[in-house]
Amino acid sequence: MLSSIFSFEYFRRYAALPRAERRWHAQIAAVLIAVAAVCSQVPRFLYPLSGCTGPTIGSAAVASLSDRTEVLFLGSSHVLFGIRPQQYSVPSTSLAATWLDYSCMRRVVEKNLSRAPNLKVAVIEYDELPLVADLVSALLSTKDFRPLTELSLTPLEFPAAGLGQKLETMWTAFAYPVTSMPRVTPMAWAKRNDGCSPLYQPRLGFAPGYYFTEAVTPPTFNARIVFEVLTRASLKEDVVQRNLRNLGETISELRRRGVTVVLLRLPHVRAYDLERPAAVTARWRQLQEWTRADPSLIVLDWGARPEFKAADFCDMHHLNVFGANKLALLLDGQLRVLCGSRR
């Protein structure tokens, strides 16, 4: 009979070896595995995980939290681009990241709330994006956890959907130095700052928690890709329900600590609502209905404020620095009033 690699004969022969010899083989294998595991983590100790030398928008925002912080903004890229904390008269900080959903916001609040013991107002983004987004799944697809780790979360603290995603998260975090960080070579060391994305460390106008841009929506801008992504996300009922549940728990936790909660929809270009797909609009209506169940919530739906013109946006739904400054002028007075007396 011809030999086959699928035959159990090899295993039987190996099992017949002296136990001491098999133990020695196991020890050699264990040492090699340990050496490989340790060596794979060397880039983690040589290079910053953010890919940037110095603080990033997110890490600087976390570091700016203190007993002086009275207002905390939370949200997705809409907040990252549209809220400029330095323009407010009350001490404010913004913890925001692209595609940040309500489940991740809850973890960010839980992790960082103790850093701001005198917090008076929390302004949470009021939008369909954080309702339908699933940031952890998106980060797993790119094998890049920086949007959350720069806000001080560890992979163990990510809101994983089940044991399978939790294990995948831990493996991806362990493998990150091999899959995404520079190699340990002289050339890689010389170019170690090339991996620093402007989204984490802008070349112009760096400020904690805020992405500075003077760009204006180009005439050729097409929102089709954005709407396609939002439409696909809108179809995931389990994600939407999880985000709604976590939004409610975040609001409850903040209120237990005596913090006033404000839901704020940031301005959008008027064409955004007209072109928004029906599935996405339905989720926005669902969020509106959810908020009506709590009459005590302060809701500022400023999505269609007439003060904002085309020159205030860098695309259909993100403010530029001119729009962010205008928003600060409109919102600052209300925040001062809310900070003057706790609810």
Give CA angle at 47 (42, 52), nearest 5°.
160
Architecture of domain 55-160+203-340: 3-Layer(aba) Sandwich (3.40)
pLDDT above 50 for 299: yes
Phi, psi of 265 (to 5 degrees): -95, 120
| Element spanning 46, H or E | helix 42-46
Q: How confident is the model at residue 1 (pLDDT cuts 50, 70, 90)?
A: very low
Average per-residue pLDDT for the chain: 91
Sheet holding 92-96, edge to edge: 92-96, 71-75, 121-125, 260-265, 298-301
Domain residue ranges in the chain: 55-160+203-340
Alpha carbon distance 95, 114 (integer Å): 14
> What does the pLDDT read at residue 343?
40
Question: Can you say whether residue 300 is alpha, beta or left, with left for phi > 0 and alpha for psi between -120 and 50 degrees?
Answer: beta
Pairing mode, strands 121-125 and 260-265? parallel
Span 108-167, pLDDT tens digits = 999 999 999 999 999 999 999 999 999 999 999 999 999 999 999 999 999 999 999 999
pLDDT above 70 for 7: no
Task: Specify the pTM.
Answer: 0.88
> What does the pLDDT read at residue 6?
59
Phi, psi of 94 (to 5 degrees): -120, 125
Alpha carbon distance 292, 295 (integer Å): 6
Residue 158: DSSP 8-state: S
Q: Identify the residue with better confidence: 170 or 51.
A: 170
Q: Side-chain half-sphere of 62: how many Cα atoms within 13 Å?
A: 17
